[in-house]
Homo-oligomer: A and B are copies of this chain.
Amino acid sequence: MKQLVDKKILNEVIEERSKDSHKGNYGRLLLIGGTYPYGGAIIMAALAAVHSGAGLVTVATDRDNIPALHSHLPEAMAFDVKDKDRLKEQLAKVDIILLGPGLAEDDLGLELLETVLGQVKEQQILILDGGAISLFSKVTLPLPQAQTIFTPHQKEWERLGGLALAEQLDTANQEAVDRFAPGTIVVQKKPGTTLYQSGVVDCYQISAGGPYQATGGMGDTLAGMIAGFAGQFSKTSLFKRVLAATYLHSAIADELSQKAYVVLPTDISRKIPSAMKKVTEE
């Protein structure tokens, strides 16, 4: 059955921080993407993750892309995505891996996907987005040994789920999701974004958002928020955290759209800290 997700999910998930906590308690994130010519995408994902409260964010991207990233966000560490030793070292250390915003579907992209899938471990959370989904759909690769979240838009879901656009109905979608390892989460992005989890009967539709979000980079920002939330709020299930991030992303867009015909992804990121604060005051 389809459930509607409304603002109650935010109160369930977003909690006041404990006084004795430190940045290690809020997730170590590794964001991989932004390869030529898509550098901006990983910048938007990183902006979203940091503003969502992530403890430590490291970005692996084209070396040429690092100055632009740091011009937005000196808060993130950043290294050359071709620096294999460092990539492996980081993959071993972090709690959350987001692969795909602005990942070109080329040899480097495939190599990165293989490296990540080969090294990721059960207790880590892996988010596959954008180019990583397309590449994953094209080649035969083992399912990741991690709690996995896919964030496809409709075209990417066609390939990943093996369902033509017209067939993307809830029952068929759920069946496709159930072919992944139990617990795998799929965020199907569309007007009325819907979330599925492998092995769970209900799916969840976000009751927020609108056409003012129809602009490039919106999905990269969502992926960054999901990564940010995944590294926090461990008292609630991963699925609820993803629901909360996805709802909040559109809820902020709704609010901004009161005064803007189109809502830019980076505008959403800047609003995350105040929107989260409001939740804790209710």
A176 CB-CB contact with B under 8 Å: no
Which of A1-9, A72-80, A113-121, A123-131 is near enough to bind chain B?
A: A72-80
A134 CB-CB contact with B under 8 Å: no
A56 CB-CB contact with B under 8 Å: yes
Query: A residues 34-57 with Cβ under 8 Å of B?
Result: 36-41, 43-44, 47, 50-57
Q: Are A273 and B277 in contact (CB under 8 A)?
A: no
A26 CB-CB contact with B under 8 Å: yes
Complex interface: chain B residues within 8 A of A63 (CB): 64
A145 CB-CB contact with B under 8 Å: no
A23 CB-CB contact with B under 8 Å: yes
Other-chain residue from B37, B217, B261 in contact with A79 (beta carbon distance below 8 A): B37
Q: Are A74 and B40 in contact (CB under 8 A)?
A: yes
The distance in angstroms between the C-alpha atoms of A209 and B44, with both chains bound, is 28
A82 CB-CB contact with B under 8 Å: no
A181 CB-CB contact with B under 8 Å: no
Given contacts A21-B191, A44-B75, A51-B262, contact A70 B39 (CB under 8 A): yes
Q: Are B22 and A75 in contact (CB under 8 A)?
A: no
A71 CB-CB contact with B under 8 Å: yes
The distance in angstroms between the C-alpha atoms of A157 and B119, with both chains bound, is 32
A263 CB-CB contact with B under 8 Å: yes
A238-271 vs B, CB cutoff 8 Å, 1 = contact: the mask equals 0000000000000000000111111111100000
Complex interface: chain B residues within 8 A of A72 (CB): 71, 74
A276 CB-CB contact with B under 8 Å: yes
Other-chain residue from B21, B67, B76 in contact with A211 (beta carbon distance below 8 A): B21
The distance in angstroms between the C-alpha atoms of A273 and B212, with both chains bound, is 10
The distance in angstroms between the C-alpha atoms of A237 and B9, with both chains bound, is 44
A215 CB-CB contact with B under 8 Å: yes
Given contacts A67-B67, A262-B53, A262-B276, contact A79 B36 (CB under 8 A): yes
Query: Which of A's residues lie within 8 Å of B, judged by CB?
Result: 14, 17-23, 25-26, 36-41, 43-44, 47, 50-58, 63-80, 86, 190-191, 210-212, 214-218, 257-266, 272-274, 276-277, 279-280
Closest 4 CB pairs of A and B: A40-B74, A261-B276, A17-B211, A68-B70
